[in-house]
Amino acid sequence: MYVFLDPLCSACWEMQPIVRKLQVQYGQYFTIRTVLSTQLSNLNTVCKTSIEEKTKIQCEFPDIEHTVFPSIAVKAAEFQGRRAALRFFNKIQEYLFIKTKNVTSFSVLQEIASKVNIDVDEFTQDFKSKECARSFQSDLSITSEMDVTTFPSIVFFNENIEDEGIKVSGVYPYEIYVQILQEMLYEKPEVQEPPALEKLFDRFHSLTTNEIASYYYISEQQAERELKKLLLLQKVERLVLPDVVIWRLKNN
């Protein structure tokens, strides 16, 4: 599965629970390659100067902002591991859509790096490196090759190289993605047992009550009770928002 995301896209924020549920229930059938990109209008402006030059300017003048920097920052975080990059991506969206912070500022991105417990100095060096610029440009090339113009998008491939991939642009109900997975496998996939709740947080770091309930096939009330046990043990913290309750790993 190629998952095309733009960190600044609100629909990509909505897509995350769907991707996580696919991983929890059917992760034995596929691997995920996350491809970062940005809207064409943002890309046009950054392309007037090379990505390499832009990142160098940004590090020398931390107050400069650009909408392409969050994507480059995730690629920089990826040099410290895929899980680090996933945590970084999720934290960017949390800062943007919950805390309404300006995630196009490099100083904010450095703060996020600190929050997700990656080496900030290493992150800063990687952010302005040629290798990071090439990594992001590779993602842009894949986006172009697969003719992806809408975010989020998912492109499904199976092991048969002669079969064409299936591209799904936008956000659809979870069952649609399961149906496509079944079509690609030529058989009905079996749902695997979810890991223990603590291991789930080790993997994803922040989850909603609704997500937990759906993974374990329990009511939201039951999920809330189990989550409160972790809260009392100070292993998670609870963030109450107008439309949703988010539980996240403590000190993250």
At residue 63, what is the residue type? Answer: D
Nearest to 201 by CA among 176, 173, 234, 178: 234
In tens, the pLDDT along 65-118 reads 888 999 999 999 999 998 899 889 999 998 998 888 999 999 999 999 999 989
Q: How far apart are CA 142 and CA 57, in angstroms?
A: 26
What local confidence, expressed as pLDDT, does residue 219 receive?
A: 95
What local confidence, expressed as pLDDT, does residue 205 receive?
A: 86
Domain boundaries, the chain: 1-41+64-190, 197-249
For residue 96, the surrounding DSSP H or E stretch is: helix 82-97
What local confidence, expressed as pLDDT, does residue 11 receive?
A: 93
- C-alpha Rg value of the chain to the nearest Å: 19
What local confidence, expressed as pLDDT, does residue 164 receive?
A: 82
Q: Topology of domain 1-41+64-190, per CATH? A: Glutaredoxin (3.40.30)
At residue 251, what is the residue type? Answer: N
What local confidence, expressed as pLDDT, does residue 47 receive?
A: 45
**Mean pLDDT by groups of 10 residues along the chain of 252 residues:** 94 93 95 83 48 53 77 95 91 89 93 94 94 94 93 90 86 96 91 94 90 94 95 92 83 60
What local confidence, expressed as pLDDT, does residue 64 receive?
A: 72
Q: How far apart are CA 10 and CA 97, in angstroms?
A: 8
Nearest to 223 by CA among 242, 207, 203, 241: 207
Helix/strand/coil for 174: helix
For 60, phi then psi, to 5°, come to -80, -30
Helix/strand/coil for 230: helix
Cβ count near 41 (within 10 Å): 8
Q: Are 35 and 175 in contact (CB under 8 A)?
A: no
Helix-strand-coil percent breakdown of the chain, rounded to 5?
55, 10, 35
For residue 3, the surrounding DSSP H or E stretch is: strand 2-5
What local confidence, expressed as pLDDT, does residue 41 receive?
A: 52
Task: Classify residue 235 by its DSSP letter.
Answer: S
What local confidence, expressed as pLDDT, does residue 212 receive?
A: 95
Query: Is the domain covering 197-249 a CATH 1.10.10.10 domain?
Result: yes
Q: Are 69 and 86 in contact (CB under 8 A)?
A: no
Nearest to 79 by CA among 113, 49, 108: 113
User: What's the predicted TM-score (pTM) here?
Assistant: 0.84
What local confidence, expressed as pLDDT, does residue 75 receive?
A: 95
